[in-house]
Amino acid sequence: MRRGSALLALVAALAVAVPAAAAPVRPSVAFAQLLDAAKAGKSATVFAGLSAATRSHYLTPSAFARSPAGAALTAAAKAPHVRLVDQSFPDGGAAEAVKTPKGAYAGALRLEGGRWRLVVDPDVLIQPLSPQAGAVTGKVLQVAAQAMLPDPVDTGALYLDGRPLSTKGGATNGGRTVTLYANIPQGIAKGRHTLVAYVRGGAHSGALAWAFTIR
């Protein structure tokens, strides 16, 4: 066999011998694994499941565990919960949320290093507009939230009781402040409901869940 032929045979053999990189698990699976780790008190495992920017902000597993964000994650993990929102986007982001007896917990995930990781970004602020968190109100024909990010918003979504809504947005401040809203002409049925808002802009993303009651 000539040298060139032998080299090609070696390359072909290596291509067969080296397996292709495994596809990342679904964001819902990564989110469930993160909740399981938080429930078990595995702070190092939780910290490893955070985005690089989030780890850089909190520095240590214990610092994140003691933070309000860490406490909220742990509280949701320890409560009985069911999946509420599970949606990934073409830009490498995902919205995940679970429903608990006292409300809901939402997280923004980012595909980073071949793994879906939770983003806790202190530079992202999401505020409920209508209905307000914990509100007890009458007929509601529109739901809304406001988000403020350092970069212009690229993606925004609202979910009512886990159902994605036809979300629209009005932006100010160069696109860095956006009001997400969705019209519900038929209104919302009486009872307790949950809303989830998700946003992403550039390297920043966030999600928030809140509950309200229609009387």
The DSSP annotation for 78-100 comes to HS--EEEEEEE-TTSEEEEEEEE
CATH class of 27-214: mainly beta
pTM comes to 0.86
Instruction: Write down the domain spans for the chain.
Output: 27-214
Each residue of 93-112: pLDDT tens digit?
999 999 999 889 999 999 99
- Taking all residues of the chain, what is their mean pLDDT, rounded to a whole number? 90
pLDDT attached to residue 210: 97
Query: Which strands make up the sheet holding 168-172, listed edge to edge?
Result: 125-130, 142-148, 177-183, 168-172
pLDDT digits (tens, 9 = 90+) for 1-40: 444 444 334 333 333 444 445 667 899 999 999 999 999 9
